[in-house]
């Protein structure tokens, strides 16, 4: 089962895996690392919500990210992020079309987020963060997410 809810302007996705009897909490922060902190509730179209849930489930399984790693991403505790957390971020951003082979897709970010959060806010976040590069695609995605988060843009 997968549950999706909006709390404090952040989309929270909770996976409940009954066979393993534990919860994995993933905060995608409105399309992972692209949402701009807006006044009031974030209005994410239902179709995008469903994709968020799908991508998070796939990437969570592919990268074996644990509860502690997810919680650290959720709360902005980046210092101990492991490779699984970084590659989860890359997987999600690539599935969402925001990154392709480590390259930021400005047009996709603008199209998906501009209408939700406003073009000016999206453009300002992109100008600050989108030039960041890491040692590999996972590191690049993680650094982008971190930048958006730390500038209150995710």
CB 109 within 8 A of CB 34: yes
Picking from 25, 33, 22, 139, the residue whose alpha carbon sits closest to that of residue 83 is: 139
Between the two ends of the chain, the Cα-to-Cα distance in Å is 25
Predicted confidence band of residue 1 (pLDDT cuts 50, 70, 90): very low
Structure confidence at residue 105 (pLDDT): 94
Residue predicted with more confidence, 140 or 5: 140
Mean pLDDT, rounded, of the chain: 74
CATH class of 2-150: mainly alpha
3-class SS of residue 15: strand
Predicted confidence band of residue 142 (pLDDT cuts 50, 70, 90): very high
Of 68-77, 128-137, 141-150, which has the strongest mean pLDDT?
Answer: 128-137
Structure confidence at residue 154 (pLDDT): 57
Structure confidence at residue 118 (pLDDT): 77
Strand order in the sheet with 10-17: 2-7, 10-17, 22-27
The percent of residues in the chain predicted with pLDDT above 90, rounded, is 32
CB 138 within 8 A of CB 13: no
CB 42 within 8 A of CB 11: yes
Specify the pTM: 0.70
Structure confidence at residue 129 (pLDDT): 92
Picking from 100, 111, 106, 101, the residue whose alpha carbon sits closest to that of residue 48 is: 111
| Residue pointed to by tokens 């999706």 | 4
- Reported as a single tens digit per residue, the pLDDT across 3-56 is 444 444 454 444 433 323 222 333 344 334 344 443 455 567 788 888 887 888
Structure confidence at residue 121 (pLDDT): 82
Q: At what angle do helices 137-150 and 119-129 cross, to 10 degrees?
A: 130
On the question of pLDDT at 152 being above 90, the answer is no
Lowest-confidence segment of 39-48, 74-83, 145-154 by average pLDDT: 39-48
């Amino acid at each position: 089962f997968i549950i999706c809810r909006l709390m404090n302007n952040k989309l929270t996705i909770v996976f409940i895996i009954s066979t393993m009897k534990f919860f994995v909490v993933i905060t995608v922060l409105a399309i992972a690392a692209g949402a701009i902190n807006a006044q009031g509730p974030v209005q994410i179209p239902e179709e995008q919500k469903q994709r968020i849930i799908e991508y998070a489930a796939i990437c969570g399984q592919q990268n074996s990210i644990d509860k502690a790693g997810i919680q650290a991403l959720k709360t902005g505790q980046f210092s101990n992020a492991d490779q699984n957390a970084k590659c989860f971020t890359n997987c999600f951003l690539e599935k969402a079309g925001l990154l392709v082979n480590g390259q930021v897709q400005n047009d996709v970010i603008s199209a998906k987020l501009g209408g939700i959060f406003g073009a000016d806010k999206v453009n300002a976040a992109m100008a600050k963060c989108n030039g960041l590069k890491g040692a590999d695609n996972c590191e690049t995605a993680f650094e982008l997410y971190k930048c958006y988060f730390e500038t209150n843009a995710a």
